[in-house]
Amino acid sequence: MKQEKMEREQWGSRIGFLLASAGSAIGLGNIWRFPYITGKNGGAAFLVIYIALAFTIGASVMLAEFAIGRAAKKNAVGAFRELKGGVWPLVGWMGLAVAFIILSYYAVIGGWTFAYIFKSFTGLMSLHDISAAQDSFLGFIANPTQVLLAFFVFMLMVVLVVYKGVGQGIERASKILMPGLFIVLLVLVTRALTLPGASKGIAFYLKPDFSKVTGSTIIDALGQAFYSLSLGMGILITFGSYIGKNENIPKSVVTVTFLDTLVAFLAGLIIFPTVFAFGIDAGAGPGLTFITLPAVFSKMWGGMVWSALFFVLLFIAALTSSVSLFEVVVSYCKDELGWSRGKSSLLMGTAIFLFGVPSALSQGAYPINLFGKSFLDAMDWMCNNILLTTGGLLICLFVGWVVTDRIKDDISNKGRLNFALMSPWLLILRFLAPIAIVMIMWSGLR
């Protein structure tokens, strides 16, 4: 057989790369968490703080990650080895482990969103009050057959996309799914804003209230920005490794941050007008999306359609984020273990599914607990409060202090591109971001 040199895969187009990265960032966090913390933390006042932090600290860390990836042209572990070696590959290992763990439960919830698209047509809309919707949801997540089946199907879709490769799989799926997400989002925003009484919801969401802004608000905003932009775990390093050498990375970072923030903002324009129009309290998390909103949709004319569209939105958000998590793992197996993409996807997809089974069953089917929380919540807590932040901190220090010149060289496309904000960016990575991240960790552990 002819000896072929294995070329590293690359994004086929700039738009494909941007949509895939935005797809990673735009996830459940944008839709079920951002609106809620904004409403609770002073509305427009919080929004301003969030935007300021996302575009400074968040975007700086994102830029660092993309540049590590492109400079090394390797998976998360290999990139640190390539650029420095020593103990640094451990940071990549941590990212790899976090991607594996997060995906194992994120995909469980992805399965729920998928199931709820269909449930919108099969009886969900006949449950008109919150307590009936709650019983139905709790019954669903306690049903081992249903949750495992939904989890399996969702994971299968993630595997199929990644199996097809960077260009034919991830990029192509993003080019179809992300425009779909934007369309569904705009349809739902229009519906929500035209409900009678919508303005009360908008007032709650956006009325600036600076008295609610405290130190912990700022930490909340930063934590949310970090999670929402998928920072600190090797996703963007992996995606960065497929960026071509002529791409303007700083510009891409601004685009991805903008899209992520836009979707989070618009999600609030769906949720608050909708629940306020029906005089219901909005919360955050699974309760809001799987209980409150279906109950509200059921009272609306054409509720089935609104409910199904809403779950399609969540499903796409969850799917593209899951794909990015899975690519971290697959890219490692390909580069470091020399496995084919097919073998990596199938074996690792199976491993992640098996590891996710306790999470899937821990929500009511069986009492599988760890550290006094359900297995799913324990995994989520550990990743968000410890591993993601530690990863982010080490990435800042790595770029800010250890491999600075090499990364600067990469960001400026070897001097061909003038990145005017190089000095402020370095200042953020060296001092501001590390301090801010330590503060998030501290508040999370308290």
State which of residues 22, 28, 352, 440 lies at the interface with ligand PFF (CB under 6 A): 28
Q: In angstroms, give the least distance from the CB of 54 to ligand PFF.
A: 12
Nearest-CB residue to ligand PFF? 27
- The one segment of 127-135, 222-230, 365-373, 390-398 that binds ligand PFF by CB under 6 A: 222-230
Interactions with ligand PFF, residue window 85-114 (CB under 6 A): 102
Distance CA 436, CA 231 (A): 14
Amino acid in the structure at residue 278: F
State which of residues 21, 30, 75, 307 lies at the interface with ligand PFF (CB under 6 A): 30
Q: What is the CA radius of gyration of the chain?
A: 21
State which of residues 71, 141, 263, 325 lies at the interface with ligand PFF (CB under 6 A): 325
Q: In angstroms, give the least distance from the CB of 60 to ligand PFF.
A: 17
- x/- letters, 336..375, toward ligand PFF (CB under 6 A): ----------------------------------------
CA neighbor of 334 nearest in space, from 107, 99, 166, 106: 166
Q: In angstroms, give the least distance from the CB of 312 to ligand PFF.
A: 16
Interactions with ligand PFF, residue window 229-268 (CB under 6 A): 230, 233, 235
State which of residues 227, 332, 398, 425 lies at the interface with ligand PFF (CB under 6 A): 227
Residue 429 · residue 400 · CB < 8 Å:
yes
State which of residues 11, 17, 19, 29 lies at the interface with ligand PFF (CB under 6 A): 29
- The one segment of 21-29, 111-119, 304-312, 343-351 that binds ligand PFF by CB under 6 A: 21-29
Count residues binding ligand PFF (CB under 6 A): 13
State which of residues 27, 35, 169, 358 lies at the interface with ligand PFF (CB under 6 A): 27
Amino acid in the structure at residue 13: S
- The one segment of 28-36, 191-199, 367-375, 406-414 that binds ligand PFF by CB under 6 A: 28-36
Q: In angstroms, give the least distance from the CB of 425 to ligand PFF.
A: 22
Residue 76 · residue 328 · CB < 8 Å:
yes
Question: Which chain residues interact with ligand PFF by CB under 6 A?
Answer: 25, 27-30, 102, 227-228, 230, 233, 235, 321, 325
